[in-house]
Amino acid sequence: MDSIEGLSPAIAIDQKTTSNNPRSTVGTVTEIYDYLRLLYARIGTPTCPIHHHPIVGMSIKTMVDHVMSAKSGAKIELLAPVVRNQKGTHKDLMNDLMKQGFVRIRVNGEMKLLEDDIQLNKNNKHTLEVMVDRLILSDQAQSRLYDSIETSLKLSSGLVLVLIDGVETLMSSNYACAECGFSLPHLEPRLFSFNSPLGACETCKGLGVIQQVDIDLLIPDDSLSILQGGIRYYKNIVDSENIEWQNFKTLCDHYSIPMNTPISKLSDEHKDIVLHGSKGPIKYAIHSRSGNTYLRNERIEGVLTLIQRRFFETSSNMAKDWYGSFMSESTCPTCSGKRLNEMALCVKLSQHSIYDFTRFSITQGLDFIHSLKLSDHDLEIARLVLKEVSERLQFLNNVGLSYLTLDRVAGSLSGGEAQRIRLATQIGSRLSGVLYVLDEPSIGLHQRDNAKLIQTLKDMRDLGNTLIVVEHDEETMEASDWIVDVGPGAGLHGGEIIFNGPTKDILACDASITGQYLNKTLFIPTPVQTRVGNGLCLKINEASEKQPEKHQCGYPTESICGGHRG
């Protein structure tokens, strides 16, 4: 070529897995999760994970308005909860409060003077609430209330206890539970990201799984003894001068663990020592191959703790592969595979956390978004975000992926699924003037969803794009605007273009075998006799189309439930 003009920027959407990164999910790849993080940060309701009631942060003005709404002449008392259910005598705190000019304090519900000799048992838990102000409610009290509430918030890190004619109300300026003190930071999108230290589970670092030594991989045959190589890690160094083996043998000798007895017959205590090591330091000697002797007095690691530690400490890929051969993935015990920490999971939208949303199928996610009942204020804030989430879910639904969940790991998708996800993502980007090249997008797609895929392709075309689709599906070919039939003689032979023109014209092209099949001149006859089977059959017992009336959790099946999907 001397020059090429007028060629649009091209994007290839081929059949390959979207990502092998364990942190990539359907939600992150399609960018839906980014919008969900923004949605929950803006209109999510923090909920106490213990008491299950909403946590609301109040402004000083809101607190003052609440008190001023009481009847005129009401007796108002403002207390600052400086200590809540904590052990100690708290003598220094009470002395400090007295120096600041405070006179009264309520100790475990009983009002006392700070100048009194207040003795508290250091082994018991105590609640201390210092009296900040007492007044009779009137129109002139608003300014004084504002100052007193502000003082209380500073003393108690954001809490104020208000008594109106003896009726108590605990108010907080933070996202904190008034009963147990559970608190959250300011809600922001980072809090809901499992790729951010702010939102990720501390145990699994946002992966949802942890690597642990698998006993079945470490001891594949427990009928063998240790000396027979029953522990695979030591199999090739038994009776050697290897320092690791000397350490392990010393451990077994110290606790009289029989090394020639089948591992299955060892006591539970001996198995625990073999796996997790000594209970305290042991004095022993190590002999090196050079003839040197080293005296040690330290705790000896068990084989399981040794492998676990070295797997995370080593920087060698070869060593990591070796230690990794004894390990397997298991669900994180802290977050139960949810990837997020407790603070992120306690923020709810219509009683569902962001993790619950990602567990919905695409269809259920759409139903959830459309059934949300929001106040006018929240709706104004979330309107554009909800529109983006709804449209992107609809795109995934239109390309036949209604069964997927947003928490599905991207690396587990088939080639066809990954391609259609990228297709839906491109539609969501709303680009125009782009040349898209697609490689058999109907692969793996049920025939009933073909029409949805074709309509999606037409929508992309209508945005002002050009789509080149390599396809063998009859329905897709018939829906195309232009068709190129590539004939025999490919590769080194140069190839041959059989037909190049509008789709309707290929039906009259006798040279095109594709055209002859499309106009039904040629067809594949239905076999008169089916193939002989191999003698095997699949038997399905107790199959039924009847659905249970309720989920295991009690929700009706036609409703959306975060824990169950149908």
Calpha distance 506→4 (Å, rounded) = 28
Calpha distance 239→363 (Å, rounded) = 62
514 is written with which tokens? 């594709």
- What single-letter amino acid sits at 191? L
* pLDDT for the residue 555: 45
List the one residue out of 33, 107, 98, 333 whose CA is nearest residue 208. Answer: 333
Burial class (CB in 10 A: 0-12, 13-18, 19+), 321: exposed
Diameter of the chain measured on Cα atoms:
109
User: 491 in the Ramachandran plot: left (φ > 0), alpha (ψ -120 to 50) or beta?
Assistant: left
Residue 159 CB neighbour total at 10 angstroms:
22
* pLDDT for the residue 560: 47
User: Per-residue pLDDT for the chain (566 aa), expressed as one digit of tens each?
Assistant: 899 888 889 988 877 655 678 888 999 988 899 999 999 999 888 887 777 777 777 778 888 888 888 888 899 999 998 888 888 888 888 888 888 989 899 998 889 888 888 888 888 888 899 999 999 988 888 888 989 988 988 888 778 888 998 888 888 777 766 566 666 777 889 999 999 888 899 888 888 988 888 898 899 888 989 888 888 888 888 777 788 888 888 999 989 999 889 999 999 999 999 999 888 888 888 887 777 888 888 898 899 999 989 888 888 889 888 888 988 888 898 999 999 998 889 888 988 999 999 999 999 999 999 999 888 888 899 999 999 999 899 988 888 888 999 999 988 888 778 888 888 887 777 788 999 998 888 877 777 778 888 888 898 899 899 999 999 889 999 999 999 998 887 778 878 899 999 999 999 998 898 999 999 999 888 888 877 777 777 888 888 776 555 544 444 444 444 444 43
Calpha distance 49→566 (Å, rounded) = 25
Q: Which domains does the chain have, with CATH numbers?
A: 10-19+406-518 (3.40.50.300), 60-173 (3.30.190.20), 211-330 (1.10.8.280)
Tell me how far CA of residue 39 lies from CA of 78, 91, 219, in angstroms.
36, 47, 48
Burial class (CB in 10 A: 0-12, 13-18, 19+), 365: buried
Dihedral sign for Cα 93, 95, 98, 100, please.
negative
* 499 contacts 511 by C-beta, under 8 angstroms: yes
* 396 contacts 369 by C-beta, under 8 angstroms: no
